[in-house]
Amino acid sequence: MNVDRKTFLRGLGAGALGLLATGGRSAMEADGYQSAATPTWTGDDPEGFWRQVRAQFPMTPERIYFNTGGLGPAPRRVLDMLTLASRQLQERVETGHDFFAQARVLVAAYLGARPAEICFTRNTTEGTCIVAGGLELQAADEVIFESHAHPGGSFPWLNRQRADGIVVKTFEPDPTSAAGNVERIAALITPRTRVVQVSHVTSPTGILLPVPAIAELAHRHGLWFHVDGAQSAGMIPVDLRALGCDSFATSGHKWIGGPHETGILWIREERIAEVTPRHVGAYSSDDMNLKNPGPFTYTPGAHRFEYGTRNAASVLALAEATRFQTEIGRDRIAARGRALAQRVRAGFERIDSVEILTPADPALSGSMITFRTPRLSYEQIFGRLLGDHHLRTRPVSEVDLNAIRISTHLFNSPEECDRLVGALDEVLRKA
Ligand SMILES: Cc1ncc(COP(=O)(O)O)c(C=O)c1O
C-alpha cells in the first residue's frame, strides 16, 4: 500500500477532531514542518547524498555515534512531527487517539503487514511480553530461544518459567551457517515444545538468523514462532508476511529512527485470538457502552492490546520515521549500513590482536560488528574510545563476551568509520 505525503497530511487534518487543520491549510505546513525535505537519490554523487541525509539528524557533532543498536537518533522531520503534534494536541487538550488508525496504515505498509495486525507498544520488550504473557502455556511446556537473547527477549519467558513452570531451553547461535542454526533449534524440539523465538539479528554479536527457514521448521512442528526484531526493522527491509513468523516485536527508537519509547508488535491476523490480552481497558473492546458485567469482546485487531490514554504524537512521529526511511530507500539504507560495517571490519582486520565475532558472510550479518581483544577489557576500550576519541560504541558484557559492538546506520560516514579504526589502533598501541 502506498500512502503519499499529501494523503498523510490530509489524514492528519481530517481526523475526527479536526486537529492540525487551520484555515484549510495544514498547521504542520504553516509551522514549517515540510522544511526538512528528504534528499533525493540521483546516483550522481552518492557521498553528497549521504551528507545531506546526515544533515537531517540534529545530533551533536561533538561525538561520533555508533550505537544505533542501543538507541537510534530520530531525523528532524520526525522530531518536528513529535513536537508539533504534541503541542497541537496540548493546545486543543485532545488525546489524538483517532490518529492511531492513520499511523497504523503507514506502519503496516512499511512492514508488509495489514493494519489490523499492528499494535503500538512502548518498546520491543512490551511486544514480547504481550506474546509471552498471552499464549496459553501449561507447566512443563517448552520454549526455545537463543542463549544470546537480550533481557527484553528472555525475561518475558523466564518470568513465565518462574510463575507458571514452563521450561526454557536455549541454543547457542551458530555464527558460521544459517542451516546450523535451524539444526540447533531442531535438536531441542520435543513433544512438549510450544514456542520458538529468535532475535532476527542477535544483540551481542549481530548474527542475522534465518527467520524464513526457522518459520518453516516451527510450523512443521505446530509451534508458535515469535521474532524479536529489535535489531532488524529499520536496519534491513522487513516484510513480515513473507518472513513467515507468527509474531514480531520491534522498537521504534532504534534502527527505524522514531521517538523514544515507541514500539510495534505485529501478530499474524489469523492467530491474534491465540494471544490473550493480559492488560485491557478502553480501546481493547469496540463496545464502549458495555453494561457491566458484560459480555466483553475484544476489538478485532491487534490494537486490542493497546489500552487507555496514549501519546498519539509519538505514534504519529513513528509513522513519520517509516515514511522518511521509505523515501530514502530501504534497500539503500541496508546496503549503506552494511558497506560501512564492512569498512570497519576491513580496518579492524588490519589491527593485531583484534578478533571479530560477527560473521563476515552477508547472509549472516547486517550493520553491526562486534569485536574484542585480549589486550584490554571491554570497559577499558569503551572508556578510551569515548573519553579520548569521542566515539560512542556499545560495551558487550553479555555471555562473558568482553567485547564492543559497533552499529553503522544511514547517518554514519566512511570518514567516521576510518576515525574509529584509527582510534582503536591508537588505543591498543598505547595499551
Ligand atoms: C534483541 C533485542 N531485543 C530487545 C531489546 C530491548 O529493546 P527495548 O528496550 O526497546 O524494549 C533489545 C535492545 O537492545 C535488543 O537488542
- In words, the CATH class of domain 99-326 is alpha beta
Closest-lying ligand 1 atom to the alpha carbon of residue 149: 1
Distance 205 CA to ligand 1 centre (A): 14
Distance 26 CA to ligand 1 centre (A): 36
Give the helix/strand (H/E) hosting 161.
helix 151-164
Mean of the per-residue pLDDT values of the chain: 92
Distance 159 CA to ligand 1 centre (A): 17
Question: Within the chain, which residue ranges are assigned CATH 3.90.1150.10?
Answer: 330-430
Are the CB atoms for 100 and 306 separated by under 8 Å? yes
pLDDT tens column, 79-136: 999 999 999 999 999 999 999 999 999 999 999 999 999 999 999 999 999 999 999 9
Determine the pLDDT at residue 35.
Answer: 45
Q: Is the CB of 228 under 6 A from ligand 1?
A: yes
Determine the pLDDT at residue 97.
Answer: 93
pLDDT tens column, 342-385: 999 999 999 999 999 999 999 999 999 999 999 999 999 999 99
CATH number attached to the domain at 330-430: 3.90.1150.10
Neighbours of 290 (CB within 10 A): 12
Ligand 1 mutation pick, 231, 367, 399, max ligand atoms within 8 A of CB: 231
- Which residue has the least CA distance to atom 4 on ligand 1? 152
Question: Within the chain, which residue ranges are assigned CATH 3.40.640.10?
Answer: 99-326
Question: In Å, how far are 67, 110, 221, 359 from 239, measured between CA atoms?
Answer: 24, 8, 23, 23
Q: Is the CB of 306 under 6 A from ligand 1?
A: no
Determine the pLDDT at residue 34.
Answer: 55
Determine the pLDDT at residue 3.
Answer: 37
Dihedral sign, CA of 77, 101, 272, 151?
Answer: positive
Distance 240 CA to ligand 1 centre (A): 18
Distance 106 CA to ligand 1 centre (A): 23
Determine the pLDDT at residue 288.
Answer: 78
Distance 123 CA to ligand 1 centre (A): 8
Low-confidence ranges of the chain (pLDDT < 70): 1-36
- CB proximity list for 13: less than 8 A, separation 6 or greater: 19, 20, 21, 26
Q: Is the CB of 231 under 6 A from ligand 1?
A: yes
In angstroms, the CA 173 to CA 184 distance is 8
Give the helix/strand (H/E) hosting 228.
strand 224-228
Single-letter amino acid, residue 358: T
Place of cell 549503506: 336
Are the CB atoms for 182 and 210 separated by under 8 Å? yes
pTM for the predicted model, two decimal places? 0.94
Whole-angstrom Cα Rg for the chain: 22
Phi-psi domain of 264 (left: phi exceeds 0; alpha: psi -120 through 50; beta: other): beta
Chain centre to alpha carbon of residue 283: 25
Q: Is the CB of 232 under 6 A from ligand 1?
A: no
- Strand partners for 105: none
Question: In Å, how far are 21, 135, 142, 228, 249 from 156, measured between CA atoms?
Answer: 42, 12, 14, 12, 13
Q: φ, ψ for residue 3 (rounded to 5)?
A: -110, 110
Q: Describe the crossing of helices 151-164 and 124-134 by its angle, rounded to 10 degrees.
A: 30
Ligand 1 mutation pick, 129, 207, 251, max ligand atoms within 8 A of CB: 251
Determine the pLDDT at residue 117.
Answer: 98
Closest-lying ligand 1 atom to the alpha carbon of residue 199: 1
Determine the pLDDT at residue 253.
Answer: 98
Q: Is the CB of 230 under 6 A from ligand 1?
A: yes
Distance 34 CA to ligand 1 centre (A): 32
- DSSP letter, residue 409: -
Q: Is the CB of 412 under 6 A from ligand 1?
A: no
